[in-house]
Amino acid sequence: MVEKCIRELVMNKKIKKILREILRHMPIKKSVNTPIMLGNLLDNRTALITGGSSGIGLEIAKEFARNGANIIILGRNIDKLKKATNLIKNVNQKIEVNSYQIDISLEKDISSFFEKIEHFDNQVDILVNNAGVICEKDFWNVTEEEFDRVINTNLRGTYFFTRRFCKYLINNKIKGNILNVSSSSSLRPALTPYHFTKWSIRAFTKGLAKEVSKYGIVVNGIAPGPTATDMLLEGSDNINNLGSPIGRYSTPQEIANLSCVLVSSLSESIVGDTIFATGGSGLLTYDDWD
């Protein structure tokens, strides 16, 4: 009886593995109708979004705009910034949308921007730290230059940009929100510079929340899993993801919806937390992959 159960278990695992390999190579198109939040959650507020010209950052900017916030997006590519600005304006004609070319890994760019922010018509009270770069090389092949590039943008730039923003809020007696975009990669062992930075952003979220909560600044994080951005899909419309319990990638709109709630008054009691949006990947255990 025991031997029979073992054989059945082994066969089930083999079948699962075979099916997974077959399905992995099938062009499955799986659509999802993600609700779009349209309301006044962020009326009379102004949001600053780093890395806001594409991907998750752009989707967050559009969602904030739908909910009444004025938008400022930052990025390095001027053409992408112009295109993104028009897309955001089309979402809500009643708000102000501005963009600035900036590399947050450069101290001179940060200083120059914060000289401008003091003269804005609207006080900025939301910061979304979304800017980031990746390096796909493994532990054995990452160069020092590639390591520094990732660390300088994802971690060093975010750290010092956020510090300047906190000083701006405190000096002007503004209560506000900071949302750090981490990643589900921060759940996994860190062996690449990208993973290092996402682990660090989680820790930074907690430390910063403790430091600035007394000034009325609420800090939280969001950690998306694989998300169906243009960069990930590479021109495909197939959002199927067999590595996720929900069977698909998260959509940028889903991440944007959650981000909107996290910087709104609905989430005042959430402080120093990182909310994971992984599609259930954190539920997977060893036997799911054998």
Annotated catalytic sites, by residue?
A: 194
Instruction: Find where tokens 């003269």 sit.
Output: 119
Helix (H) or strand (E) holding 193: helix 193-212
Instruction: Find where tokens 């990182």 sit.
Output: 274
What is the 3-state secondary structure of 218-244?
EEEEEEECCECCHHHHCCCCCCECCCC
Termini Cα distance of the chain: 23
Per-residue CA distances from 231 to 1, 54, 234, 242 (Å): 51, 9, 5, 19
Distant-in-sequence, close-in-space partners of 273: CB < 8 Å, separation ≥ 6: 205, 220, 221
Distant-in-sequence, close-in-space partners of 219: CB < 8 Å, separation ≥ 6: 177, 178, 179, 180, 205, 208, 209, 212, 213, 271, 272
Give residue 166's Cα distance to chain centre.
Answer: 20
In the sheet that holds 274-277, the strands lie side by side as 97-101, 70-75, 46-50, 126-129, 176-181, 217-224, 274-277
